[in-house]
Structure 1
Amino acid sequence: MLTRLNHGLSATFLVLAAVPALADEVNVYSYRQPELVEPLFDAFTEQTGITVNSVFLSKGLVERLKSEGDRSPADLVLTTDISRLSQLVEEGVTQPVENATLEAQIPALFRDPGNQWFGLTSRARVVYASKDRVSDGEVTTYEDLASDKWEGRICTRSGTNAYNVALTAAVLAHHGEDGATEWLEGVKSNLARKPQGNDRAQVKAIWAGECDIAIGNTYYMGLMLKDDEQKAWADSVRIVFPTFEDGGTHVNVSGMAMTKSAPNRENAIKLMEFLSSTGGQELYSEINNEYPVDPNVPSSDLVSSWGSFTADDVNLMDLAKLRPAALRLTETVDFDG
C-alpha cells in the first residue's frame, strides 16, 4: 500500500505500509528528491513491469531502518555522499550483494570493498566564480581558497554540511590535521558572510554581489538553469575545477545499498542492475546533471559543457574514515561562528 501524507511545513513524504511483499514490486527509501529519481523508476517499470514504491526521507533514514528491523518493507536505499553510504554499513542496516553485473559496470573506486554499497553517479566539489569579478585562472587550487587575496569574497553553506565535511576530510588526507586546521581558519577568515543556505543560495549571493566565489557541487548548475528565477543566478557564474596541489579535483558519490531485510531481493537486484547499466547511467546523468561512475558512459551534453577534470585519487572509504576528524576540526575552529 502506498500512501501520500503531508508532513511538516513544506516536505511531502511517501509512506509505505508494512504489507506482504508482492512479486511485481520493489520498495525504495530515498534521500534523493523525488523529481531526481522517479523518471528512473518509471523507465525501469516500463522495461520490466516491476512497480517501484518510493519513500522520500530528508532525514532519519538510518534511524527508520533500525526501528523497523527485519519487518522493514524497504529493499533499497538511494542516498548521496560517501559518509551517508558508509554510515548505512556501520549501522548494520545493509547486506552485501555479490553480483557480477554490478561489479562489471561499477569501477572498484565507486563501490564498497565488501559490496555493501554501489556508486551510481559522481559529482565534483567546485568553485562557482563570478564572470564579472573573477578572471580566468584566478582560482586554481583548494589550498588557494585560504589565501588572503580572497578576504571577504567567499560564500559557502555550513561547514558541518556533509558535502563540506567531505571536502575537509580530503584536505585532511592531503595535509594532515595541522594543515587542515590552518586551511579551515584561512577559508573562514575569507568569508563574506556567515555560512548559510544551500549551494544554490551561494550562487544567488554571487549574482547579488555579496561575494565573488562560492563552494558548491557541479549538478546545482543544471538545476538552476532549469528554473526560470534561478537561471539568472547560474548565468552570472562559471564553474571552475580546483585541484589539490598534489592531487586532483575532489569528488563525491551518490549510490545505492540493499537493506538487510529486502523482502523483494530479486527485484531489488534487477533495479540495481538497471540503475548501473549504460541506459540507466545515461538517464541518471541527463536528469541529475551528474557524472556516470562507468567511465564508458558519456556525460550529458550539458554536464560535458562545463569542462573536464581529473578526479582526486584519495580513496572514498579513506574520506569516510576521516569524516569524524574533519567534523571535529570544523567545530573546533568555529567555522560557522
Structure 2
Amino acid sequence: MKPINFKMLGMAFAVAAASSVHAQENVLNLYSSRHYQTDEQLYSNFTKKTGIKINRIEAEDNPLLERLRNEGKNSPADVILMVDAARLWRAQIEGMFQPVKSKVLDSRIPDNLRGKDDGKGAEWYGFSTRGRAIVYNKETVKPEDVPTYESLADPKNKGKVCTRSGSHPYMLSLIGSLIEHNGEAATEKWAQGMVTNFARPPRGGDTDQIKGVASGECGVALTNTYYYVRLLRSNKPEDKALISKVGFIWPNQKTTGAHMNISGGGVAKNAPHREAAVKFLEYLASDEAQGYFANGNNEWPVVKSATATNPELESLGKFKAENVSIATIGKNQIAAQRILDRVGYK
C-alpha cells in the first residue's frame, strides 16, 4: 500500500472547496411577491451579465412570509422582494433581512426609500415607485370635488366612494401616510367619513375599482398608477372603452403631494449566497434595470440618471410627490389598522 500524501490530499480538498464556493456564488435564491411577467427580462439579463443563475420562489406576500417563518435559519432565501412599504416593514420587524452596506446602493437609492439605517446598513431598499391616484367617473363626478385624499370623506361625496379592503397593504400604507401628515385623530375622522361615503363595501383589486368607476357603480376610487397605465397601454377595445369614461387626478398637489409607495427588497437574514445577493440588489439599482421597471411594469425609476420610454406613463404628467420616509409609513400601519377596526372599515 502506498503511503498517503497528506500534502496532495490537502491541496485536493482546497481545490474542491474553492470550486464549491465558486459554484455557490453563481446561484441566487430569490423569494419574490412580485408577479409581473415583464420581470422575466430583468432576471434573465442579470444572469447574462453575471453568470449567476436565479432560482425563484414566487407567491403572494402572506404565503411567502409564512414560508420564510417555517424555514427559519435553514431558509435558502438570498433575496426577498416585496411590493409596498407595509409588507417590507412586516418582514423587517420579523427579522427576515440583514443589514447591507453598499456604496452603489447608498449613492443611487434615496435616503427616504431605505429601511432602517442605524450605522449597520439598510435592511431593505426601494427600487421603484408607484403613486396612489384618484380616478373618477367623468359623467357623474366633478374633478374639483375630489382633488385630495381628504376630499373623498367629504359629505358631498356620500355614496360615491369605492376602495379595496382597508386592511390591504396598499390602503394601510396610504393611511400610514395620512397619519404622518395629519395625525391619528384627523385620520380616524377621515376613515369614518370614507365608510359613510362608500358606494359599496370594499372589495376587489385596483383594476376592479377602475371598472367600478367606468360602469357608474362608483363615482370615485383609489388606484395605484401602474394599474391605470396598464389599461392605457392595452389594445383591447373593451379596455379602451373603459378608460375613456374615467378621469385621472394626482391628489394633494397643493398640499402634501401624492402618496408614493414602492417595490423593494433586501438580503435575507440567513442568505447562503450573500455576495450574489448584494450583486443582485446593486443590479436592480442600475440604469438598465430601472428602465425595465418603468417600461415593463409602468413604475417610476428611483435612480435619477435612469430614463424610461413609456409614453403612457409619461402622459400622467409632472406631479408633486409626498416627501416622507417610506420606512415611517410602514411603521404607521399598526396605528392604521387600529383606526380601521374602530371605524368599521373592512
Fold shared by both chains (TM-score > 0.5): yes
Bigger shift: residues 56-65 or 114-123: 56-65
2:41 is matched by which residue type in structure 1?
P
Structure (1 or 2) with the greater helix fraction: 2
Q: CA deviation at 1:57?
A: 1.2
Please give the per-residue CA displacement for 1:16-74, whole angstroms capped at 9, x wherever unaligned.
xxxx9744221100011041422210121222222211111112222222221232121
- CA gap of 1:42–1:316, structure 2 versus 1, over 3 A, is same
What whole-Å deviation, never above 9, does each CA across 1:243-267 have from its counterpart, x for those lacking one?
1764111111110110012112222
Q: Which residue of 2 aligns with 1:67?
A: 70
2:276 matches 1:267: yes
Residue identity matched to 2:321: A
Partner of 2:10: none
Structure 2 residue aligned with 1:100: 103
Counterparts of 2:301 and 2:344, CA distance in 1: 36
The answer to whether residue 157 in structure 2 is matched with residue 147 in structure 1 is no
Equivalenced residue count is 318
Which residue of structure 1 lines up, in the alignment, with residue 222 of structure 2?
Answer: 215
Instruction: Find the aligned partners of 2:45 and 2:239 in 1 and give their Cα distance.
Output: 28
Question: Which aligned pairs between 1:200-239 and structure 2 lie closer than 5 A?
Answer: 200-224=207-231, 225-226=233-234, 228=236, 229-239=238-248
Which AA in structure 2 matches 1:321?
K
Task: Report the TM-score, using the length of structure 2 for normalisation.
Answer: 0.86
The DSSP-based 3-state class of the residue aligned with 1:77 is strand
CA contact (8 A) 1:282 1:298 kept: yes
Identical columns (%): 36
Structure 2 residue aligned with 1:48, among 47, 50, 62? 50
Q: What CA distance in whole angstroms lies between the structure 2 residues aligned with 1:329 and 1:136? A: 28
- Give the Cα separation in 2 of the matches to 1:301 and 1:244: 22
**Are 1:292 and 2:301 counterparts?**
yes
Contact 1:81/1:254, CA 8 A, preserved across alignment? yes
Contact preservation (8 Å) 2:136, 2:220 = yes
In structure 2, how many angstroms separate the alpha carbons of the residues matched to 1:227 and 1:178? 45
Structure of greater Rg? 2
Q: Deviations over 1:145-204 (max 9, x none)?
A: 111121111111111111111111122222222211110111111111111100100111
* Deviation at residue 332 of structure 1 after TM alignment: 0.9
Runs of 4+ in 1 over 4 A off after TM superposition: none
Query: Using a 3 Å threshold, how does the CA distance of structure 1 residues 106 and 22 change in structure 2: closer, same or farther?
Result: same
Does 1:325 find its partner at 2:325? no
Q: How does 1:90-239 map to 2 (within 5 A)?
A: 90-112=93-115, 113=117, 114-224=121-231, 225-226=233-234, 228=236, 229-239=238-248
2:259 maps to amino acid: H
State the partner residue of 2:12. none
* Paired residue secondary structure (2:147): coil
Mean Cα deviation higher: 212-221 or 224-233 = 224-233
Give yes or no for contact 1:218–1:239 (8 Å, CA) kept in 2.
no
Q: Give the gaps of 5 or more residues in structure 2.
A: 1-20
Which has the larger displacement, 160-169 or 298-307? 298-307
Counterparts of 1:244 and 1:167, CA distance in 2: 16
Q: CA RMSD in A?
A: 2.0
Q: Which residue of 1 aligns with 2:11?
A: none
SS of 1:35 mapped into structure 2: coil
Counterpart amino acid of residue 229 in structure 2: G
Is 2:262 the counterpart of 1:253? yes
Cα 1:56–1:235 change in 2 (3 A) is: farther
Aligned pair partner of 2:285 in 248, 269, 276: 276
Query: 2:128·2:262 contact (CA, 8 Å) conserved in 1?
Result: yes
